[in-house]
Amino acid sequence: MSLYITADYHVGHENIIKYCDRPFKSLEEHDRHIITAHNTRIGEKDHFIHNGDFCFRNSPGGKKGEGTTKKSGFYISQLNGNGTFILGNHDSNNTLKTYIKSIVLSWGKGEYFVTHRPENANKHFPINFVGHVHNQYKFYRKRIDERFVDLVNVGIDVWGFMPRRIEEILKEYHRWTKSKEYHQAVKDQKELKYLKS
């Protein structure tokens, strides 16, 4: 069994394609790719954490491009693995019915805070897994009050539009923390964003 962590699928949300410059020509292609990528990576016995903004649901006749009328169960039934869904800012009216705003994840020798919005990061955890920011950054060393924390964006926009195993994400994160730019930011006590995907 493997553990995957991801965010911001936005299935059913046509306008996300243009908002985030996702490389799909239609909502059908977008949703098909995300569901196929999910199932290619994640097996039936694996577990995944989806860190907010899973799908969009619109009312019949609602604003064009802002979601289909399909309920979250339509998409969940197509996914491999056992999921834990964190509440995102768009998950309040899509029938997902998750009440989990954040979790503390114990993995290996570390503990990680998982929350959708970066502004809800917890300064008591050196590494916070976030979503919401799409393609704005992959990693961000940020000051919260008197401390610095590292935000790891697990959203699919910076991970090849597919979920990743937690080991893969942490391996790339640790590579980033060994960079000259990161060490200089630590020395200078400055914030640092890593924008490349």
Alpha-carbon distances of 79 from 6, 14, 53, 57, rounded to whole Å: 13, 20, 16, 18
SS3 34: helix
* pTM, to two decimals: 0.93
Number of domains in the chain: 1
19: containing domain: 3-194
- pLDDT tens-digit readout, 49-68: 999 999 877 666 666 756 66
Give the C-alpha separation, 178 to 183, whole Å: 7
Which CATH number is 17's domain given? 3.60.21.10
Give the C-alpha separation, 162 to 151, whole Å: 19
- pLDDT tens-digit readout, 105-153: 999 999 999 999 999 999 999 999 999 999 999 999 999 999 999 999 9
Give the C-alpha separation, 17 to 174, whole Å: 30
> Which helix H or strand E contains 106, and what residues bound it?
strand 102-107
Give the residue from 162, 168, 186, 161 showing the smallest Cα distance to 152.
168
Backbone angles phi, psi at 157, to 5 degrees: -60, -25
